[in-house]
Amino acid sequence: MHDGTLSIGIIGAGIMGERLLSAILDQSPPLVNVSGIFDPAPSAMQRMAASFPQVPRLPDAASVIAASDCVYIASPPASHLDHARAAIVAGKSVFCEKPLAVDVADARAFVAEAGDRGAVNFPFASSLAVATLMDWIAQGAVGTASRVTIEVAFATWPRSWQADAAAWLDGRQQGGFTREVVSHFLFLSRRLLGPLHGLSASAVFPEAGTSERSIQATLVAGDVPVELKGNVGSTAKDDHNIWMLEGDHGAVRLCDWSVAERRLPDGTWERAAGTLSQAEARPIALRRQIEGVVRLTRGEAHHLATLAEALNVQEIVEAILADGMRAKG
């Protein structure tokens, strides 16, 4: 901590690490500073040197942890808990990229160890569109909730902008759209309605060694039934998704990450005033995530996804994938 300003160190210089780094550097006024970044890939560090020469490039993860008040872990999922444990042991707070981990038992043990010193990067916790949905729900637009439906679709997997990370994003150990994308909408369901449970699921793995291409699931959030479908190859868009909550008074939905809509009595959908595109909404959510990280690191109440919430999401995600692998076997 320098002059009262918290420092964040970043482990992982991929797309997510670079996004948060850019958001930190773009702050006005600054809430935090960057203590340094590390990635084991020389090419990633070379890219950081070219794009962000003002940011210290540190020799290893331990150096990042030592230099920081909070550590943002944006490395591939299987490495999350090793870095997170090292940071917690060092007395630092942890802001971890989702999913929290891929090993459920290990994640449960970590959450028990870490207490309230960590949070997970589910941006819906800081989304203006989600805040609009919550306002509508509070105003009675839904009434008594009766059902959630989640639909996600992709032209290809990984998405075109993730091609450089395909080696792990399309692998069974760490990758797939259920971990990478569906987890966001499971978190949203849990945050708004309650713990996730009662899962029945199937997943399709048509190619040896690659991630899933289709899933179907039913579960419960709090006491509200959830229906989930996801597949690759059914849309021309890189990414298309809808999260919808229906009740006895109406319905609200979130479309393509950032578009909040409510269903009118005549059955048509009304878009929220001032709706932003995903590209326009992302910097605002990132700023609000950084504000949450400051509160987390200071031991104050925050709005970020808690470790317990992230663990519940991970338990459901890994169970969906495990059911698919068992079915294939």
Assign 210 to helix, strand or coil.
Answer: strand
Q: Residue for token digits 């028990």?
A: 112
Q: What is the pLDDT of residue 323?
A: 72
Residue 2, pLDDT > 80, answer no
Instruction: Please give the Cα distance from 222 to 190 (Å, whole number).
Output: 7
Q: What is the pTM of this model?
A: 0.95
Q: Which long-range contacts (CB under 8 A, 24 or more apart) does 273-279 make?
A: 275/129, 276/128, 276/129
Q: What is the pLDDT of residue 296?
A: 97
Ranges of CATH 3.30.360.10 domains, the chain:
125-282+313-328
Q: What is the pLDDT of residue 325?
A: 52
Q: What is the pLDDT of residue 301?
A: 97
> 2: which DSSP letter?
B
| pLDDT tens column, 251-271 | 999 999 999 999 999 999 999
| CATH architecture of the domain covering 6-121 | 3-Layer(aba) Sandwich (3.40)
Ranges of CATH 3.40.50.720 domains, the chain:
6-121
Contact 315, 104 (CB under 8 A): yes
Taking domain 125-282+313-328, whether its CATH number is 3.30.360.10 is answered by yes
Q: Is 91 exposed, middle or buried (0-12, 13-18, 19+ CB in 10 A)?
A: exposed
Sheet holding 118-121, edge to edge: 32-38, 6-11, 70-73, 93-97, 118-121, 305-306
Contact 182, 228 (CB under 8 A): yes
Which residues does 329 contact at the CB level (< 8 Å), separation at least 6?
A: none
Q: What is the pLDDT of residue 328?
A: 43
